Amino acid sequence: MKTIEVLGPGCDNCVALERNAREAIALAGVDASVTKVTDGAAIRAYGILSTPGLAIDGKVVSAGRIPSAGDIAVWLGE
């Protein structure tokens, strides 16, 4: 099972990223869970400087933008 983490304080961009991540799970047909990381210290521990961020299985794949569901689905398949 893959773990997707949306890194951000809960802004509109973070909500959009979470929505795209959930859509990507359906597109990719993978077993995955989505969690939100809103704690500033926890977000900084990932080494990103701008939010929203996206991590898959603990690896940051995007920061400071909202990738499409299609992009995320590709990353889930890797």
Domain that holds residue 43: 2-77
Catalytic annotation present for 31: no
51: annotated active-site residue: no
| Residue 51 contacts residue 8 (beta carbons within 8 Å) | yes
Banded pLDDT at 78 (limits 50, 70, 90): confident
Q: Domain total for the chain?
A: 1
Residue 62 has pLDDT above 90, yes or no: yes
**For residues 48 and 7, what is the distance between their CA atoms, to the nearest angstrom?**
9
- Which one is catalytic: 10, 11, 33, 35? 11
Query: Which residue is catalytic, options 4, 7, 14, 72?
Result: 14
The residue type of 65 is R
Question: What are the tens digits of pLDDT across the range 3-60?
Answer: 999 999 999 999 999 999 999 999 999 999 999 999 999 999 999 999 999 999 999 9
Best CA proximity match to 75, nearest among 10, 3, 7, 15:
3
Residue 32 · residue 3 · CB < 8 Å: yes
CATH code at 58? 3.40.30.10
pTM of the prediction? 0.93
